Amino acid sequence: MDNLLINENKSCERSYNGQAYARYAVRTPLITKDDDIIEIAKTYALPHLQEGDILFFSEKAVACTENRAIPLDEINPSFLAKLLSRFVYKSPYGIGLSIPQTMEMALRECGRMRILWAAFCSAVGKLFGKRGIFYNIAGEKARAIDGPTSGTIPPLDRCVVLGPKDPMKTAKEISQTIGHEVLIIDANDLGINILGMSQSDGDMEMFKELLRDNPLGQKAQSTPMGILRKIIQ
C-alpha cells in the first residue's frame, strides 16, 4: 500500500496569501522508543520528497522516539497534581492537564513554582473573562503534554506523552540528513504551535495557517508526518 495519502475529511490543498500548497500525509508503522526519527524520515518520507518540499512531523512521533511516552500506571500523581487538575477546563478536543497524571508530568517538566504561578494567574484571569493565561505562563513544555485519548493508536492511548526534548535541534538534524526543510508541530482541533523549525528565517505564521487543521492522523490513519508542497500555478 502506498504510504502517501490524504487523510479522511482533510483537504489536499490550502492557501496562504494567494499561494496554494498541497499537504500529503505519510503513513508509517507504529513509532516507538526503539525507532530513530531520522531513519523514519529517510525510509518513509524521503522517497516521496521533491525539490522545495517541507517535511513536517507530529511532536508526538518525535517524543516517542525519545522515550517520552509514559504509561499511566507508571505515574503516581501527587496531592498537588490531583488538586490542580480539578480546576483545569475539560476541552472536548483533548485531555490536556485535566487529569492528575498529566498535571503531575507538567509539575515535573516545568517545576512546581511555575505551574502554581500559572494556575494562580489563570484563576485571576478567569475572573475578568480571560482564557489561555495558564499555558502562556507555564510555557510550551506544559502545552505539549498529551493525555491518553480513544483517538490515539494503542498503546499510546494509555500513555501521557511529553513534548520533544529539543525540537529545534531535532528539526535541524533531520533537515541536514535528508536535505529538506523540517517542521515539528503540535496541532489539534484547538490550534497549532510550531515547536521545531529547521529554517532560522522560516515564516512561522505561514506554516501555522497552512497546517492549522492538522492534516496528520494518530489512530487508524497512522500518519505522524507529512509533506508540504508548493503548487506551481
Q: What is the pLDDT of residue 99?
A: 93
In sequence order, what are the beta bridge partners of 14? Answer: 21
Amino acid 132: pLDDT: 81
Residue 107 has pLDDT above 80, yes or no: yes
d(CA 193, CA 196): 9
- Planar angle of CA 118, 161, 13, nearest 5 degrees: 95
Over 70: is that where the pLDDT of 1 sits?
Answer: no
Signed CA dihedral, 86, 91, 95, 97: sign only: negative
Query: What are the residue boundaries of the structural domains of the chain, listed by start?
Result: 4-68+163-230, 70-161
Q: How confident is the model at residue 167 (pLDDT cuts 50, 70, 90)?
A: very high
Which tens digit of pLDDT belongs to each residue from 82-105? 999 998 876 655 678 989 999 999
Residue 117, all three cell numbers: 504561578
In this predicted structure, the answer to whether residue 221 has a pLDDT above a threshold of 90 is no
Q: Is the pTM of this model over 0.85?
A: yes
Q: What is the pLDDT of residues 108-117, one digit of tens each?
A: 999 999 999 9
Domain 4-68+163-230 has CATH 3.30.1330.100: yes
What's the mean per-residue pLDDT of the chain? 90
Question: Quick one: 114 exposed, middle or buried, by C-beta within 10 A (0-12, 13-18, 19+)?
Answer: middle
- The answer on pLDDT for 189 being more than 70 is no
